[in-house]
Amino acid sequence: MAGEARRRRLRALLKKAHLAPTDLTSFEQAFMHESAAREHRKDSNERLEFLGDAVVGLAAAGWLFEEHPKASEGWLTARKAAIVRDSALAATAMRLGFADLIELGSGLARAGGAENKTILADAFEAFVGALYRRYGEAKARRFVLEQHMALVDLSDEGVTDPKSLLQALAQQRYRKLPIYRDRSTGTPQEPHFVSEVVLKDRVLGSGAGRSKKLAQLQAASEALETLLARARKGKRNKT
């Protein structure tokens, strides 16, 4: 998208955030993918994405805490994961037209990178980071709430299964993916599987079931409880 057309779209985005657009430089940077930044020798959106990630997470946690005062930590964690996961952020970014705004390196652009979920999610977080820097936390949080969180399905059916939730939590806290160790202990007539989930060389949970999937789901659920218990213990030790 050409320069002036891009700026018109950026101004329209800022109006959605109830803001009067001024200097658009930082907002243009929010859509500068690292592949384009290398080609044009400009700053990428990575630092803004880092900042926006924290703002989105805080906005989600704060809203859930206030709106659901009786909810358990596990319930809140599941809903927060649903709000901040890449697929949800990418869906919002696509709806807002971010795919047309993202600047990519020539090779990635030809490969359709503007529709990549991770690239879209990163751009959304970078835009929120730019909002935070320019207009402050309250304005950035309002944009996240109105344009993203209000449209995320937080019902039991819409929230991710334990495996997906564990993956999101592990990436968020440890920047690592959980690994499943599976083995079959049954027979073709009576199948039985056992699964262990490992994170950073430690077994966090185990499960068993008539299928590998069921065993992994049970192991993931146990691992989630382990991580939540560890987090609660860490909070108590700090007080």
Total number of domains constituting the chain: 2
| 173 domain residue, yes or no | yes
* Residue 157 falls in the annotated catalytic set: no
Question: Which residue among the candidates 53, 122, 196, 222 is catalytic per the annotation?
Answer: 53
When pLDDT is cut at 50, 70 and 90, the band that residue 237 belongs to is: low
When pLDDT is cut at 50, 70 and 90, the band that residue 81 belongs to is: confident
pLDDT value at residue 239: 52
Least confident of 22-26, 143-147, 191-195: 22-26
When pLDDT is cut at 50, 70 and 90, the band that residue 196 belongs to is: very high
* Domain range enclosing 187: 162-238
- The backbone torsions φ and ψ at residue 92, rounded to the nearest 5 degrees and listed phi first, read -65, -45
Question: Which residue among the candidates 103, 125, 196, 222 is catalytic per the annotation?
Answer: 125
Angle between the N-to-C axes of helices 137-147 and 46-67, in degrees from 0 to 180, rounded to the nearest 10:
70
Whether residue 167 is found in the same domain as residue 125 = no
| 207 domain residue, yes or no | yes
As a dihedral over the C-alpha atoms of residue 15, residue 132, residue 69, residue 158, rounded to 10 degrees, the angle is 70
